[in-house]
Amino acid sequence: MLKIENLYVRVAGKDILKGLSLEIGAGQVHAIMGPNGAGKSTLGNVIAGREGYEVVEGTVQLDGVDLLALEPEQRAAAGVFLAFQYPVEIPGVNNTYFLRTALNAQRKGRGEPELDSMQFLKRVREKLAVLDLKDELLHRAVNEGFSGGEKKRNEIFQLALLEPKLAILDETDSGLDIDALKAVADGVNLMRSPERAFLVITHYQRMLDYIKPDVVHVLADGRIVETGGPELALQLEEHGYAWVKDRIAPGASARA
Amino acid sequence: MSALLDSMSAGFDALPAALVDAQGLGAPRRAALAAVLADGLPGPRSEAWKYTSLRALSARRFTAADAVAEVDPAALADIPPPRLVLVNGQFDAALSNLDGLPDGVELLALSQALQGDDGRAVAVLGRRFDRPDELFARLNGALATDGALLRVAAGVAVATPVHLVFVGVAAAGDLAMHLRHLVELRKDASLTVVEHHVAQGEHRHLANHLVHVHLAGGARLVHARVQDESTGATLLARTDAVLASHSEYRRVDLELGAGLSRHELNVALQGEGAVAIAGGMLLADGRRHLDTRLGVEHQAKNTRCELPWRGLADERGRAVFHGGITIHAGADGSDAALSNKNLLLSDSAEIDTQPVLVIHADEVKAAHGATVGRLDETALFYLRSRGIGLAQARALLIQAFLREPLAVLGDPALAETLGALVTQHLDRKDLSA
């Protein structure tokens, strides 16, 4: 589903990703782990199309569609969803209005009919019930005054509503206590399906206790240095990231 | 003499003598005109006019409206009664509709009051303005022959909003109109009033409004003003509000149209515990020049003001904001808060903002701040990453930003109606680039 080949990305003149390749099949959950500064968040942002990330070389395709040629909103319509590490507060923009605008913009982008407010609300209620979220969330401005946990749950709620092909979770566990983490993970697990792929970016293994990955990658110094099963995450937890340093291919600058 | 003042003087000479002298106002009218002609137009050194140049205006000539202009009533269909309508500065009885005006509320045109022996016309028109930079108030004193007089009797709470509608319509030439208004709430009365300044077709008239707001003890007024005039129009508005003890004045100004629009909002918090909550937005796009000048005077103990203002300048537009708050000696326990936030969306646009806080009392709480910035890139990306296109994402953020002061009205339905006007304007803008 997602196919990244030999991706080189520069941010503010600095090389961050240095030849990253990654393939995720439909229905799979891949975790990307790695030390701070390895380029984990850069990967998520590049796939979603954030400005300020210069792709020097390489390709990113979703079901054969060249994502790098698309604007962020077109990527969303093509099925990309990025759950932000720091969800943005947007005072004055009502959450329901925002979600409906987003969903209908995507549907329009795909040539599907837009949902009227009744249809939309029906869908919202279904998702709220499934995720065990309160209605009240809808009446507030986007993320405004939300606690850290509420913000992350709102991200997962958006994920549920927008039903993307590829969901990228960027350090969704950061800043969450164990109960909030479980709630978020439950939401994600409900969204797992044979048609959907997940890319879970995290620094810590604990998230993967609740969202079981099919494949774990270790990202260090801009490329994937190790790929394995869920047991790889446990090894990292045990040994820390120091040992991956040794695995960085010769010629790359070691700065784990 | 400038062409502008020359044409104003000619306009005065053209007024029927009986109208000039009605109710003994001839002498103050002549004195006001003489003062303007003697002092001339304020130049760039005048502090009050530093950021709004009158140079281009000084070379223009305006005539007084002589014929009654035709307005398509359908264009006003959205504005429900009770409403008083003035077209090109003249009371239009056919378009006005006072149905539903409750007992205890009087609403009439100044021209009607001048014909009778209604002393209120004198009370408002007889005022003197001493400073040379108050030239439009002086001109108003000399030339105003119409306007709206609105009074609510003591203890009367009016649930239905009253609408004052000022329509500019293209005429043979560029017209000057001078209007004087009075909104008076007696003790413990309450009212919502909405001023609409709208155009039917393109025109380049000059409208000079001076509004007196008198709130007696415990009175509560909600006042919205929507300025959505023709892009060629010049508007010079001034509101002088006087608040007695424990009265409350909530107001919002939407500056959406006109070529040049300047509004001076003066609020005197004269009685203990008086409250003014006045916000607004300046949408300065195209070549629009918008200037809002606040002068809030805390003159009594425990008075409060809250002033949230938003500005936007795009293309070659210019937004000027002066937020003056003075806390007088003895006005202890005063609480003043001013915030002016601005969005600068183009390199050719300009924003000038000047919060000025002068405090002569002890034991006061005062906060003021002004910012100028661009749209938040992170928020834009967040919206776009959810599938919302660039233009729509920008419109969403701008709307949210501009709508913020509407909350001060404390009236969600009215806020929504006014917010929809902002949205309409943004819908017409090209925000894709």
Q: Does B387 touch chain A (CB under 8 A)?
A: yes
Please give the backbone phi and psi of residue B80, each rounded to the nearest 5 degrees, phi first: -75, 160
* Interface predicted TM-score (ipTM): 0.94
Q: Is the pLDDT of residue A49 over 80?
A: yes
> How distant is the Cα of A129 from the closest Cα of chain B, in angstroms?
22
Q: With the CA atoms of A37, A42, A44 and A48 taken in that order, what torsion angle do they form, in degrees rounded to the nearest 10?
A: 170
Q: Which 8-state DSSP code applies to residue B23?
A: G
* pLDDT < 50 regions, chain B: none
Residue matched to tokens 């329901």: A96
E-state strands within chain A: 2-11, 14-24, 29-33, 53-62, 65-66, 80-83, 90-94, 141-142, 166-170, 197-202, 215-220, 223-228
Dihedral (CA of A75, A81, A84, A85) sign: negative
With beta carbons less than 8 A apart as the criterion, state whether A53 and A45 touch.
yes
With beta carbons less than 8 A apart as the criterion, state whether A81 and A166 touch.
yes
**Looking at the partner chain, which of B385, B396, B399 has a beta carbon nearest the beta carbon of A76?**
B385
Q: Do B385 and A90 touch (CB under 8 A)?
A: no
Q: Is the pLDDT of residue A67 over 80?
A: yes
Q: What is the pLDDT of residues A229-242, one digit of tens each?
A: 988 888 887 887 77
Question: Which percentage of chain A shows pLDDT scores above 70?
Answer: 95
Q: Do A88 and B382 touch (CB under 8 A)?
A: yes
Q: Does B228 touch chain A (CB under 8 A)?
A: no
CB contacts, 8 Å: B412 with chain A = none
Confidence at residue A245, expressed as pLDDT on a 0 to 100 scale: 63
Q: What is the pLDDT of residues A133-167, one digit of tens each?
A: 788 888 899 999 998 888 998 999 999 999 999 99
> Could you tell me the two tokens for A136?
């009240």
> Could you tell me the two tokens for A66?
């060249």
A202 vs B167: CA distance, rounded Å: 61
Q: Is the pLDDT of residue A250 over 50?
A: no
**Angle in degrees, CA B148, B25, B22, rounded to 5:** 75
A244 vs A226: CA distance, rounded Å: 8
In a domain, A18, yes or no: yes
Q: Nearest-CA residue of chain A relative to B387? A: A73
> Could you tell me the two tokens for A192?
């797992």
Q: Does B420 touch chain A (CB under 8 A)?
A: no
Residue of B341, B380, B384 to mutate when probing chain A, most A C-beta within 10 A: B384
Please give the backbone phi and psi of residue B146, each rounded to the nearest 5 degrees, phi first: -145, 170
For A:154-173, CB contacts with B below 8 A are 158, 162
Q: Do A90 and B400 touch (CB under 8 A)?
A: yes
Confidence at residue A247, expressed as pLDDT on a 0 to 100 scale: 64
- The model's pTM: 0.89
Domain locations along chain B: 3-374, 375-433
In a domain, A256, yes or no: no
Dihedral (CA of A94, A96, A100, A106) sign: positive
CB contacts, 8 Å: B386 with chain A = 73, 76, 81, 98, 102, 105-106, 158, 162
For A:30-49, CB contacts with B below 8 A are 48-49
Q: Does A120 touch chain B (CB under 8 A)?
A: no
Q: Do A77 and B387 touch (CB under 8 A)?
A: yes
> Could you tell me the two tokens for B286?
């195209």
| pLDDT bucket at A254, cuts 50 / 70 / 90 | very low
Q: What is the pLDDT of residues B351-410, one digit of tens each?
A: 999 999 999 999 999 999 999 999 999 999 999 999 999 999 999 999 999 999 999 999
CA distances from A170 to A103, B178, B301 (A): 21, 62, 54
**Which residues have CB under 8 Å from B392's CB, separation 6+?**
A101, A105, B383, B431
Work out the average pLDDT over A6-13: 96
Q: Does B24 touch chain A (CB under 8 A)?
A: no
Confidence at residue B67, expressed as pLDDT on a 0 to 100 scale: 78
Q: Does A71 touch chain B (CB under 8 A)?
A: yes
Confidence at residue A246, expressed as pLDDT on a 0 to 100 scale: 63
Say whether B84 sits in a helix, a strand or coil.
Answer: strand
Residue matched to tokens 């850069």: A42
CB contacts, 8 Å: B379 with chain A = 88, 90
Pick from A142, A13, A2, A20: which is nearest to A81 by CA?
Answer: A2
Q: Nearest-CA residue of chain A relative to B404? A: A92
> Could you tell me the two tokens for A213?
């990955």
Q: Does B419 touch chain A (CB under 8 A)?
A: no
Q: Do B383 and A91 touch (CB under 8 A)?
A: no
B135 vs B129: CA distance, rounded Å: 8
Q: Starting from the edge strand earliest in sequence, which strands make up the sheet with A53-62, in order?
A: A14-24, A2-11, A53-62, A65-66
Q: Is the pLDDT of residue A253 over 50?
A: no
Mean pLDDT of chain A: 90
A65 vs B3: CA distance, rounded Å: 66
CATH number of the domain that residue A35 is part of: 3.40.50.300
H/E element holding B427? helix B412-428
> Could you tell me the two tokens for B296?
């809030």
Confidence at residue B173, expressed as pLDDT on a 0 to 100 scale: 92
Confidence at residue A241, expressed as pLDDT on a 0 to 100 scale: 77
Helices (H) and strands (E) in chain A, counts: 10, 12
**Which residues have CB under 8 Å from B13's CB, separation 6+?**
none
A48 vs B408: CA distance, rounded Å: 38
Q: What is the pLDDT of residues A182-223, one digit of tens each?
A: 988 998 999 999 999 999 999 888 889 999 999 999 999 999
Number of domains within chain A: 1
Helix A95-109 vs helix A117-131: crossing angle, to nearest 10: 110
Q: Which 8-state DSSP code applies to residue B146?
A: B
**Looking at the partner chain, which of A81, A101, A106 has a beta carbon nearest the beta carbon of B392?**
A101
Q: Is the pLDDT of residue A244 over 90?
A: no
Q: Which 8-state DSSP code applies to residue A87?
A: P
Q: How many CB contacts within 8 angstroms connect chain A with chain B?
A: 79
Q: Residue A144's domain spans which residues?
A: 2-42+50-245
Q: Do A93 and B397 touch (CB under 8 A)?
A: yes
